[in-house]
Amino acid sequence: MIMNMIKKTFFLLPSSKFLSYSWNYGSMLGMVLGLQLLTGIFLVFYYGGSMPFDDVQYIMYEVTGGWVVRCLHFNGASLFFIFIYCHLFKGLFVGGYRLYGVWFVGVIMIFLFMGVAFMGYVLVFSQMSYWAAVVITSLVTVVPIWGESVVFWLWGSYSVVVSTVKLLFVLHFLLPWVGAVLVMMHLLVLHFFGSSSVLGCHSDYDKIMFFPSFWFKDGVNMMFFLVFAWSFLLWPFVLGDGEMFLVSDIMTSPRHIVPEWYFLYAYAILRAVPSKIMGVLFLILSVGILFILGVVRSNMMFNVSSKIVYVFLFSGICLTWLGSCAPESPYVILSVVMTYIYFSMIFFLFSMAWVTKMIYY
């Protein structure tokens, strides 16, 4: 029975004959997730959480081969989000939101892995990660009535302390396995509804067997991973921040708090809204707004929707850059403009899909 499931999943899976290399992002995500789980298990052996910053330095400089495992885990997070965003925009380009079950599970996974990545960032307990934890966890205070109590429970004290790190450490270890279960659900739903294609067709008429036609394209993933390992072992902290090498100081905050690059667009949206409550709402909607696309299950004119997605992609890239800039003029004003464009494109895409559905269906 198990062999039959493996055979149907990896050999006899009907796939569109027009799939390009951009459909590799999903399999690449699976490989990077496996790498993160494996390296995470090895890191757990030497990370206790009682002295988080010292534990990281011990892994880097005292454990044999520890720096290799830690650098792979550290840069694997960046690679994971590169593929997440590529996979997401590919889905937007080809109208993957029409497969509503696959789309919903995918958006839930984005939320989950963003939380996991934030927890892992805090575990280093450097100067930047400490103050990032203070800022982000403090946002929970906007919850009416229970907000401050929840923050106090998360901290385990009146500020971010070692007990906070231990809580996040446990969650950071457990939640990726929940994510692995969601990945399996994502694949099961995908195989039930069928994969999207550039023609917008989800039926079996344009499909062929996955093996051997597409195994070569997935084999390209292995070559990419060799390049990834080589480059990130030569320049292990090229995507890091200089503050990550400084131990946390609760008395002095960095002049400019900046999260990891894959959170910068959401951080720019948060800063663009002057109200704290509305800022948190828009922060959640920066990803949550993707849910609304799944409620429209209709075909669209590809050339129209792709132009909207290009503008949406441009606004996301601009917000990522603006998130790394100081919160001053003209960057704040530009953040407001790009935030407006970012959300407008999603609503416009939703409106076009809804109108098309009303006209043709």
CATH number at residue 248: 1.20.810.10
Catalytic residue among 191, 253, 298, 306: 191
Task: Pick the catalytic residue from 15, 126, 129, 195.
Answer: 195
Residue 101 covered by a domain: yes
Q: Is 73 a catalytic residue?
A: no
Report the SS3 class of residue 223.
helix
The tally of domains found in the chain comes to 2
pLDDT average, residue stretch 226-240: 79
Of 217, 253, 298, 344, catalytic: 217
- CA 251 → CA 130, 157, 159, 247, 248, distances in Å? 11, 16, 12, 12, 9
Q: Are residues 106 and 198 in the same domain?
A: yes
What average pLDDT is seen over the chain?
Answer: 81
Asked, for residue 35, whether it belongs to a domain, the answer is yes
Q: Given 218, 241, 243, 286, which residue is catalytic?
A: 218
**18 and 119 share one domain:** yes
Q: pLDDT confidence of 301, banded at 50, 70, 90?
A: very low
Residue 186 designated active-site: no
Q: Could you say which of 55, 241, 243, 260 is catalytic?
A: 260
Considering the entire predicted model, what is its pTM? 0.84
Query: Residue 13 has what pLDDT?
Result: 61
Give the whole-angstrom CA distance, residue 262 versus residue 246: 21
Q: Is residue 160 part of a domain?
A: yes
Mean pLDDT of 142-150: 86
User: Do 94 and 170 belong to one domain?
Assistant: yes
The DSSP result for 126-177, as a single string, is BHHHHHHHHHHHHGGGGSTTTHHHHHHHHHTSSS--HHHHHHHHHHHHHHHH
Active site residue 217: yes
Residue 344 clears pLDDT 90, i.e. is over it: no
For residue 115, name the pLDDT band (cuts at 50, 70, 90). very high
Identify the top-confidence range among 21-30, 139-148, 199-208, 335-344.
335-344
Range of the structural domain that residue 31 is part of: 10-253
Beta carbons within 8 Å of 24's beta carbon, 6+ residues apart? 217, 218, 220, 221
200 and 148 co-located in one domain: yes
Question: Are residue 164 and residue 293 in the same domain, yes or no?
Answer: no
More confident residue, 237 or 41: 41
285 and 200 inside one domain: no
When mean pLDDT is compared across 44-48, 187-191, 336-340, the lowest value belongs to: 187-191
pLDDT of residue 175: 95
- Same domain, residue pair 211 and 229: yes
Tally Cβ neighbours within 10 Å of residue 151: 17
Task: Indicate whether 162 and 21 sit together in one domain.
Answer: yes
Is residue 4 a part of any domain in this protein? no
